Amino acid sequence: MAQANGESTSSALPAVGGDRRVRVHHLAAAKAAGERLTMLTAYDAPTARIFDASGIDMLLVGDSIGDNMLAHESTIPVTIDELLPAVRAVSRSTTRAMVVADLPFGSYESGPEQALASAVRMMKEGGAHAVKFEGGARVAEHVRVITGAGIPVVGHIGFTPQSEHMLGGKRVQGRGEDAAERLCEDAIALQEAGAVAVVLEMVPAPVAARASEILQIPTIGIGAGPSCDGQVLVWLDMAGMGDWSPRFAKQFAQLGAQLQQAAAEYAAEVRLGTFPAAEHSYAD
């Protein structure tokens, strides 16, 4: 990483632009060194290449593809067969980022054996480097079985979108002393089962800070405050690709408006006959 005076210091993570992949041991080393981890979603080759070249440490091929790319109302309808092509595209297009594939709803709830079979598909058919799925202590045995097979697992607690109907909608989780204690217990259960990191979604910042303090594995926050060991956002929210984004997201660009303007200018030039011009045509 770079210091304020411009001098470079060694980092726990592979160099940006190099050909070394971010691995499980790099995540642990980054937490130990106090280096913040970066994660974005990615669903296709072009964006995956851009994010990989920009130095994003982990790319999540999330079931958020459902409500962001496939026009579903939620993540719940997404299937493994829908998600696998995206996992393949992202894993084939990157050289540095760790590619983490979600296990969608219905692909692991029946038990550890189903979860392992789904995780194997993501690794073998998709080329993923790790899998992520939702739940705390209730899925600890799933985590234990999958990691026992040599597949890294990222946990996901707090607001879990696949359980949206049971949770009563998109609601902050971990409020109140009892709920906060249960969340921390879930985080510890995932760590003890072998998870390599835990996503904390829509959790009060003090609770996320407490979980980050007691865990030896990194926490990755989304709507969980600044004290997590890393952060993740849906890339469309980060880049301003829509007219709305969650309260916890920051739009670092307005790509949606820029893309709309580019398309409008293209259409106008085609209709006027100014595109294609001579330089865009073959002479013979």
Task: Find all residues with CB under 8 Å of 143, minimum gap 6, and list them.
Answer: 153, 155, 190, 193, 194, 195
Q: Quick one: tokens of 160?
A: 């879990």
Tell me how far apart the alpha carbons of residues 165 and 175 are, in angstroms, rounded to a whole number: 18
Contact (CB, 8 A) for 143 and 195: yes
Distance of CA 24 to the CA centre of its chain: 15
Choice among 73, 134, 201, 269 that is catalytic: 201
Q: Report the relative pairing of strands 219-222 and 197-201 from DSSP bridges.
A: parallel
> DSSP 3-state assignment of 241?
coil
- Respond yes or no: is residue 279 known to be catalytic: no
Q: Report the relative pairing of strands 58-61 and 37-41 from DSSP bridges.
A: parallel
- Max intra-chain CA distance, the chain: 76
Tell me how far apart the alpha carbons of residues 83 and 70 are, in angstroms, rounded to a whole number: 10
Residue 37's DSSP bridge partners are 230
Q: Quick one: tokens of 151?
A: 């597949």
Alpha-carbon distances of 237 from 40, 48, 222, 234, rounded to whole Å = 10, 16, 12, 5
Tally Cβ neighbours within 10 Å of residue 137: 16
Alpha-carbon distances of 281 from 26, 159, 203, 220, 262, rounded to whole Å = 50, 53, 56, 50, 21
Q: Quick one: tokens of 79?
A: 């299937």
The kind and range of the H/E element at 91 are helix 80-92
**Which positions are annotated as active-site residues?**
201
